[in-house]
Amino acid sequence: MKTLSNNLRLFWQGALLSYIALFHWMRPIQYMASKIIMPLAQMFFFVYLGTFATGESNAAFYIVGNALQIAAVSGIYGMTMSIGGDRDSGTLGYILGTPANRFVVFMGRAFMNILDGALGVVIAFAWGVVLMGLDLSHTNIFALALTIIITTISTCGLGLLMGCLSLITVNVMFVNNFVYFLLLIFSGANVRLDQVPAWVQVTSSVLPLTRGISAARLLVQGASLTEVMPLLLGELAVGLVYALLGYLLFAVFEVEAKKRGTLEVF
């Protein structure tokens, strides 16, 4: 019981403190701008570009796709910064030296990024409804909320895997940028997957966001939770696989980082 209590305390304290340290909270207005303006800018760009280029009047395809895509901001960048930021601050060595349960430590950091990512998606949907005419009158809101949470968890699983790279390289943000923009295409957020080559479809099937975006689009069209549940379970499975790989590779990269002396390189 004492061990469980200590792990819970470590989970919550690590989650809150790492999240506050992630943004430093020197100017909360900057954080709010990133949560409000950034989703709006991305959605405006792809919604109007997509509808103009294709000549289609169905803007909902791009609105829903890019709204869910916003989850990758916290999932990929947030998780990477939560892990790599310790090395930049010179505190990674203390974390690796502590006897605390590392699984609890890093899952706690993922927890706040899941909430942050879900908030970003909700704001993006709000912009879609208010400014772009997205119709949610036929949507099961509970099912959509569940889709947002599961999709954000999935992207955080990929983010945990990407964060491991920060132990062996100082250029991890370059990789993050590449992966984020790759997801804009391969997740189906802005490109219809039934119109792309077979190898792109295969790649999309093993990436986060793909099934979550498909489920959200079906829900907006009036589908029930039962109908999209296979997609949601698949999305969750993909995220958990990435999270497991990230956790296992973290141990491997930790040993490699100690050998190369890169634990405190910043």
Average pLDDT over residues 127-135: 89
Paired tokens of 241: 């696989």
Task: Classify the C-alpha dihedral 20-10-169-151 as positive or negative.
Answer: negative
pLDDT of residue 161: 84
What mean pLDDT value characterizes the chain? 80
* pLDDT at 210 exceeding the cut of 90: yes
Please, which pLDDT band fits residue 266 given cuts at 50, 70 and 90? very low
Phi-psi region of 222 (alpha: psi -120 to 50; beta: other; left: phi over 0): left
At 60, is the secondary structure helix, strand, or coil? helix
Paired tokens of 5: 């209590």
CA distance 261 to 257: 6
* pLDDT at 84 exceeding the cut of 70: no
Cα 92 → chain centroid: 23
Asked whether the beta carbons of 23 and 31 are under 8 A apart, the reply is: yes
CA distance 216 to 223: 9
Q: Pick the range with the lowest mean pLDDT from 15-29, 69-83, 247-261.
A: 15-29
Average pLDDT over residues 42-54: 81
pLDDT of residue 29: 72
Cα 123 → chain centroid: 15
Stretch (H or E) spanning 112: helix 102-132
Average pLDDT over residues 95-117: 73
**At a CB cut-off of 8 Å and minimum separation 6, what does 71 contact?**
117, 118, 120, 121, 148, 151, 152, 155, 209, 212
Query: In sequence order, which ranges of 165-197 are alpha helices (DSSP H)?
Result: 172-186
* pLDDT at 139 exceeding the cut of 80: yes
